[in-house]
Amino acid sequence: MQMPEPDPDILRRKAAIVAHLEDILPRGAVISEPEEVRAYECDALTAYRCPPLAVVLPASTAEVSAVLELCHREGVPVVPRGSGTSLAGGALPTADCVLLGVARLNQVLETDYENRFIRVQTGRTNLSVTGAVEADGFFYAPDPSSQLACAIAGNIAMNSGGAHCLKYGVTTNNLLGVTLVLMDGTVVELGGAHLDAAGYDLLGVICGSEGQLGVVTEATLRILRKPEGARPVLIGFDSSEVAGACVSDIIKAGLLPVAIEFMDGPSIRACEDFARAGYPDVEALLIVEVEGSETEIDEQLARISDIARRHAPRELRESRSAAESALIWKGRKAAFGAMGQIADYICLDGVIPVSELPYVLRRITELTAEYGLGVANVFHAGDGNLHPLLLYDANAPGDLEKAEALGADILRLCVEVGGCLTGEHGVGVEKRDLMSHQYGPDDLEAQLRVKDVFDPDWLLNPAKVFPLAASESRRRRAAAPVA
Amino acid sequence: MAEILPKDEAELAEAVAAAAAERRGLAIRGGGTREAGRAAAEDVLSLAGLTGITLYEPGALTLVVRAGTPLAEVTAALAAEGQRLAFEPWDPRGFSGRNGVPTVGGMAAVNASGPRRIQAGACRDAMIGVRFVDGTGRVIRNGGRVMKNVTGLDLVKLMAGSHGTLGVMTEIAFKLLPCPETVASVVIDGLDIATAARAMTTAMATPYDVTGAAHLPDGPDGAPLTMLRLEGFETSVAHRAQELSAVLRHFGPTRRIEGAGHWPLVRDAGGFGGRLGAVWRISVRPTDGPLLAARLGGAELILDWAGGLVWALVPEDLDLRALMGGIGGHATLLRGAPETFARWGAFHPAPAPVAGLSAGLRARFDPAGILNPGLMDTRPSRAAVA
């Protein structure tokens, strides 16, 4: 994977830039020693690493504004970072960048149950947002699987989803307002506790913009009252095709589960070996969860089971208790850990129309066989968001490259059947060069123009999201020495 | 003023490119039912030739439709499969006195979202993909037809609610939801606005999945009516109606109304039709709804979104935005005399940095300034009355 050459002029000016940063930030908020900045050399896409020029850890919107204003004046690129859990390399530094971490921005600013919102600083972790309101019976709905560690800033940057977004939507559907700092230090307030924008929906553009447009320091988030209860049903099938048809029938029947999770044979067996959840030995497993009162749950599970029975399931297990629910979820929640025990893996994030599920799963199996690698599929079936785990051996020379090439083939397949490259992880550097497969030159140009408006000098997280060739002239113009 | 009527997207793109070359302003027209302010244009660009559903997959809850398609056609096709657009778009003919047929493109261009907005999201939340022609005549795609998509910048949201000033939408993809088996409302009679607002925010803070919370100070019988809607399977609605009534009992006795009831009246501000005065739609935080209502004195009001959406019928010369001091949110003028639009402007003024970003986007997407010129300017302008 290619990254642009660092600007030698910036590298040469490192001492002066660090001194400026130390002037405007409190002691301890600037890190510049090579052995210390190494802690920030990568995010969760660990195959790629590069220590930044310096790291700053501001603790207020004013400090973020001061940093950006300084870097803007000095022409220094800035890479924002939440908790560093990006699987797409969204927070991968370059050698000539200042890495801006929001970890110290972790306060709850306002909680309002009457108006159902919470306002937080964006370095706060996803789970601790719910933690701040759950004693009062509320929760924040988006629940990415990294929710223990991932920051709201990163959730907004990647428009994160989670297992329950079939009912509750993704980040953009639960984000009411932000405080955004532009690259020149300007502080902009968008949205708030009221609904919908007065003019253009800039909030909607910010969400999912991968740190391309500004740094979000505060966020107003929708909170909801927790449902009375939730229970899943586990359904096993002989083939992925039948499981896919069952998902489609559940949706068509007017049922709206909060989650429909899918696992294929290899993941079922790996999870069972690892977590001992009592999963049946089948080729496809659905976990369908519904919410409500006990009687509402019983009725919905009965309707789902009726539909499932029409597809001759090998196993049908309705949870009757919290303990049974926990056991059904245990294997699924251990999936990534279980696969990690067997092999190194790349986790993909493509999305397909639900109707294409059987075909795409068959093609993934064929492609994987052609590359001589292994694959396990674990995903959110209700919305077609696939997470194939491509298994490889990091110690075998050439294996990573093979897995990456297979991943690119699978994502191209997703696009060909009418889907997209990424449903919740973001483009980052990982899928940057596949963007031109999904979008034509005019489509990309329109997106580049939005960045031109927010960040005319192309200093914020450059060399991400867009194919390098597409953004090159803009980045080069930005890097040209000021006359 | 000539009317240009392209028969497909390619013709439309040619027409826009030609208009850009001559710098002739285009008023973008769907069904001609929604006009918050009016564009100062030389020609009309009609979407009436771009109609039809291009893809409907009930099993995937997905619909792709051309922008000029009448909304009623879409609603009927979805109803046949027991599905719907969950955001409950409002029909402006209730209060506008205009004829015409609402279209999918017009609905998306104003982000028309009704009572269910508070539970199911806005029009913009249901939009998952778009094709549009920018102000230079280029065809641009963004998003797609799948439920989750974070591939690149989200221009779908940007197009929603942009009133045709950044591009002419030609095709839109929506996420759908199933229609419920049962619809019912738990209602309370006779509450004053402040108490009604407290009842609504109380209901919204329960786990009973309320899909509408509105208060009509002058209800259908002339008396105040507070309504909380529940939807789902009959047993589920019955359970929740009972629980909700218990939670709300200290606000007054409740009764259950079956079916759609008065919700269309709330959605379309139907009671304002044929009456003198300006119609405003104001989005505030729910607890600010009654505060604003008090400041509006004797104005005729509808409170939706648990108090967070105020529809107001007020004298044309009332500076409504001046009454919003200390209250966040925004007010849109939806109906009024030309001089009323000239005086107050249709859209809420934006703070300088936001106005700067918006102007920047407009300059990039429509450099010749030909798409609905003057519309969505946040200051009153000549264009608003043209």
Last residue of one domain, picked from the residues A183, A201, A225: A225
Asked if the Cβ–Cβ distance from B357 to A115 is below 8 Å, we say no
Contacts of A202 in chain B (CB under 8 A): 158, 354, 357-358
In this predicted model, what pLDDT tens digit does every residue of A49-73 receive, in sequence order?
A: 999 999 999 999 999 999 999 999 9
CA A155 from chain centre, in angstroms, equals 6
Q: What residues of chain B lie within 8 A of the CB of A292, using their CB? A: 236, 239
Is residue A144 domain-shared with residue A249, that is, in the same domain? no
Q: Where are the beta strands (DSSP E) in A87-165?
A: 98-101, 108-112, 117-121, 138-139
**Range with the lowest mean pLDDT among B16-20, B217-221, B355-359?**
B217-221
For residues A322 and A459, membership in a common domain is answered with no
Same domain assignment for residues A278 and A355: yes
Tokens encoding A29? 């908020």
Q: What is the mean pLDDT of chain A?
A: 94
Name which of A161, A201, A253 is nearest B148 (Cβ-Cβ). A161
Cα B252–Cα B258–Cα B260 angle in degrees, nearest 5: 105
- The answer to whether residue A482 scores a pLDDT higher than 90 is no
- Domain termination residue (choose one: A81, A101, A121): A101
Tokens of A17: 């830039």
B18–chain A nearest CA distance, Å: 18
Q: Are residues A310 and A339 in the same domain?
A: yes
> Which of these, A114, A102, A121, lies nearest to A193 by C-alpha position?
A114
Domain CATH code at residue A253: 3.40.462.10
- For residues B104 and B69, the answer to whether their CB atoms sit within 8 Å is yes
Does the reported pTM lie above 0.90? yes
Facing residue for B152 by CB, picked from A112, A383, A447: A447
Instruction: Indicate the length of chain A as a whole number.
Output: 483
Residue A425 lies in a domain: no
Q: Looking at the partner chain, which of B57, B148, B235 has a beta carbon nearest the beta carbon of A383?
A: B148
Cβ atoms of A50 and A93 within 8 Å: the answer is yes
- Compute the nearest-CA separation of B297 from chain A (Å): 22
Nearest to B252 by CA among B223, B220, B221, B212: B223
| Least trusted range by pLDDT, from A114-123, A313-322, B96-105, B136-145 | B96-105
pLDDT of residue A252: 84
Q: What is the mean pLDDT of residues B245-254?
A: 97
CA distance B30 to B40: 17
Q: What is the CATH number of the domain that holds A152?
A: 3.30.465.10
Q: How many helices (H) and strands (E) does chain A have?
A: 19, 18
Residues A242 and A388 in one domain: yes
**pLDDT class for B384, splitting at 50, 70, 90?**
very low
Mean pLDDT, rounded, for A239-258: 89
Q: Which residue of A has its CA nearest to B281?
A: A198
From A448's Cα to the closest Cα of chain B, the distance in A is 9
Contact A182 B308 (CB under 8 A): no
| Burial of A439 (C-beta count, 10 Å sphere; 0-12/13-18/19+) | buried
Do A19 and A159 fall within a single domain?
no
Angle, vertex CA A357, rays to CA A352 and CA A363, nearest 5: 95
Question: What letter does residue A48 receive in the DSSP assignment?
Answer: -
Q: Are residues A305 and A180 both part of a single domain?
A: no
Name the residue among B142, B146, B160 with its Cβ closest to that of A443: B142
- Whether A280 and A352 share a structural domain: yes
Residue A422 inside a domain? The answer is: no
Minimum-distance CB partner of B154 among A192, A204, A300: A204
Average pLDDT, chain B: 94
DSSP string, A235-288: EEES-HHHHHHHHHHHHHTT---SEEEEEEHHHHHHHHHHH-----S-SEEEEE
Judge whether A247 lies within some domain. yes
Is A219 in contact with A177 (CB distance < 8 Å)? yes
Nearest chain B Cα distance for residue A247, angstroms: 8
Q: Are A75 and A121 in a shared domain? A: no
A143, A162 Cβ separation under 8 angstroms: yes
Q: Which pair of tokens denotes residue A368?
A: 């994987």
Going from the N-terminus, what domains does chain B have, and what CATH number goes with each? 2-178 (3.30.465.10), 180-336 (3.40.462.10)
Chains A, B: CB contacts within 8 A come to 259
A474 contact residues in B (CB cutoff 8 A):
none
For residue B62, the chain A residues in CB contact (below 8 A) are 353
Q: Where are the beta strands (DSSP E) in B152-308?
A: 168-175, 177-178, 182-189, 212-216, 225-232, 254-258, 278-283, 300-304
pLDDT tens per residue, range A351-360:
999 888 889 9
User: Cβ contacts (< 8 Å) between A293 and chain B: which residues?
Assistant: 236, 239, 243
Contacts of B205 in chain A (CB under 8 A): 113-114, 116, 138, 225
pLDDT, tens digit, 9 for 90 and up, residues B113-124: 999 999 999 999
Residue at a domain's end among A56, A80, A101 = A101
ipTM entry? 0.95
pLDDT for B35 equals: 62
User: How far is A182 from A72, CA to CA, in rounded Å?
Assistant: 10
Q: What is the CATH number of the domain that holds A89?
A: 3.30.43.10
Residue A431 is assigned to a structural domain of this protein? no
pLDDT digits (tens, 9 = 90+) for B285-299: 999 999 999 999 989
Spatial contact of A356 and A386, defined as CB atoms under 8 Å apart:
no
The nearest alpha carbon in chain B to A423 belongs to B149
Chain A nearest-CA residue for B151: A422
Interface of B with A in 246-275 (CB under 8 A): none
Yes or no, beta carbons of B233 and A300 under 8 Å apart: yes
Is there a domain that residue A423 lies in?
no
Residue of A nearest to B289 (CA): A194
Query: Cβ B236–A292 below 8 Å, yes or no?
Result: yes
- Inter-chain contact B124–A196, Cβ cutoff 8 Å? yes
| Least reliable range by pLDDT among A6-20, A99-113, A234-248, A443-457 | A234-248
Look up the domain containing A456 and give its range: 440-479
- Asked if residue A421 belongs to a domain, the reply is no
Compute the average pLDDT of residues A357-376.
92
Structure tokens at B9: 């997207």
The number of distinct structural domains making up chain A is 4
CB contact under 8 A, A446 and B142: yes
Predicted local confidence at residue B98, as pLDDT = 81
Whether the CB-CB separation of A55 and A30 falls below 8 Å is answered with: yes
Domain membership of residue A58 (yes or no) is yes
The verdict on a CB contact (< 8 Å) between A198 and B347 is yes
The CA distance from A401 to A404, in Å, is 5
pLDDT band per the 50, 70, 90 thresholds, residue A150 = very high
Per CB-CB distance under 8 Å, the chain B contacts of A299 are 233, 235-236
Neighbours of A46 (CB within 10 A): 11
From the centroid of its chain, how far is CA A17? 32
B283 vs A159, A161, A196: nearest CB: A196
Task: Determine the average pLDDT of the residues in A87-97.
Answer: 95
pLDDT of residue A481: 55
- The verdict on a CB contact (< 8 Å) between B111 and A159 is no
Give the per-residue pLDDT at A341.
84
Per-residue model confidence (pLDDT) at position B212:
98
> What number of residues does chain B have?
386
Asked if residue A268 belongs to a domain, the reply is yes
Q: Do A351 and B148 touch (CB under 8 A)?
A: yes
A375-412: per-residue pLDDT in tens? Answer: 999 888 888 999 999 999 989 999 999 999 999 999 99
Residues A367 and A249 in one domain: yes
Alpha carbons within 13 angstroms on the beta-carbon side of residue B88 total: 20
DSSP 8-state symbol, A40: G
Q: B348, A425: Cβ pair inside 8 Å?
A: no
Does A371 lie in the same domain as A247?
A: yes
Same domain? A264 vs A378:
yes
Q: Phi and psi at residue B325, in whole multiples of 5°? A: -55, 130
Contacts of A193 in chain B (CB under 8 A): 285, 328
Q: Which of A170, A190, A353 sits opposite B57 (nearest CB)?
A: A353
Residue B87 has pLDDT above 80, yes or no: yes
